[in-house]
Amino acid sequence: MPTTPTFKDYIKSLPNDLTASVVVFLVALPLCLGVALASNAPLFSGIIAGVIGGIVVGLASRSHLSVSGPAAGLTAIVAGSLAMLPSFEAFLLAVVMAGAIQLILGFSKAGVIGDFVPGSVIKGMLAAIGLILLINQFPHLLGDDSQFETDEGVPRKGNIFSNFFFAFTNINTSAFIIGGLALLLNIFWEKFQKGKTGFIRFVPGPLLMVIIGVAMNQLFQTQNWLPALTGEHLVILPMANNPTEFFSFFTRPDWSQLGNTAVLTVAVTLALVASLETLLSIEAVDELDPYQRVTPTNRELKAQGLGNIISGLLGGLPVTSVIVRSSANVNSGAKTKMSTIYHGTLLLLCVALIPALLNQIPKSALAAVLIFTGYKLAKPSLFVGFYKKGWNQFLPFVGTILAILATDLLKGVLIGIGIAIIFIIRSNFKSAVIITNEADKYLVRLRKDVSFFNKAILKQGLEKVPTNSYVIIDVSRADFIDQDIIEIIEDFQKHAPLENIKVEIKKNPSSISILT
CB 121 within 8 A of CB 397: yes
CB 471 within 8 A of CB 501: yes
State how far the Cα of 198 lies from the Cα of 412, in Å rounded to an integer: 44
174, amino acid identity: S
CB atoms within 10 A of CB 335: 21
CB atoms within 10 A of CB 274: 29
Using DSSP, state whether 50 is helix, strand or coil.
Answer: helix
Give pLDDT, residue 358. 92
Beta bridge partners of 443: 436, 472
State how far the Cα of 189 lies from the Cα of 269, in Å rounded to an integer: 44
CB 210 within 8 A of CB 361: yes
Give Cβ neighbours of residue 272 (< 8 Å, ≥ 6 apart).
none
| Helix axes of 261-288 and 88-107: crossing angle, nearest 10 degrees | 60
243, amino acid identity: P
| Helix axes of 119-142 and 261-288: crossing angle, nearest 10 degrees | 100
Q: For residue 205, what is the enclosing H or E element?
A: helix 205-223
Give pLDDT, residue 398. 96
State how far the Cα of 345 lies from the Cα of 52, in Å rounded to an integer: 9
CA angle, 205 then 206 then 210, to 5° = 120
CA angle, 264 then 265 then 267, to 5° = 60
Give Cβ neighbours of residue 177 (< 8 Å, ≥ 6 apart).
216, 226
Give pLDDT, residue 510. 55
The arrangement of strands across the sheet holding 470-481 comes to 433-438, 441-450, 470-481, 502-506
Using DSSP, state whether 65 is helix, strand or coil.
Answer: coil
Q: Torsion angle, CA of 146/150/154/155, rounded to 10 degrees?
A: -20
* pTM (predicted TM-score): 0.81
Q: Torsion angle, CA of 379/383/385/389, rounded to 10 degrees?
A: 160
Give pLDDT, residue 1. 43
Give pLDDT, residue 154. 46
CB atoms within 10 A of CB 181: 17
State how far the Cα of 36 lies from the Cα of 44, in Å rounded to an integer: 8
Using DSSP, state whether 179 is helix, strand or coil.
Answer: helix
CA angle, 424 then 429 then 434, to 5° = 135
CB 144 within 8 A of CB 166: yes
CA dist 379 → 66, 90, 264, 282, 383 (Å): 21, 43, 42, 21, 7
CB 281 within 8 A of CB 129: no
Per-residue confidence of the chain (516 residues) as pLDDT tens digits? 445 667 777 888 898 999 999 999 999 998 898 889 878 899 999 999 999 999 999 999 999 999 999 987 788 789 899 999 999 999 999 999 999 999 999 999 999 888 788 889 999 998 998 898 888 889 989 998 776 655 555 454 556 788 888 888 889 999 999 999 999 988 898 888 877 777 777 888 888 889 999 999 999 998 888 999 998 899 888 888 888 999 999 999 999 999 999 999 999 999 999 999 999 999 999 989 998 899 999 999 999 999 999 999 999 999 999 998 999 999 899 999 999 999 999 999 999 999 999 999 999 998 898 898 889 889 999 999 999 999 989 999 999 999 988 888 888 999 999 999 888 777 766 677 888 888 889 999 988 778 777 888 888 889 899 999 999 999 888 888 888 888 899 999 998 999 899 999 988 765 545 555
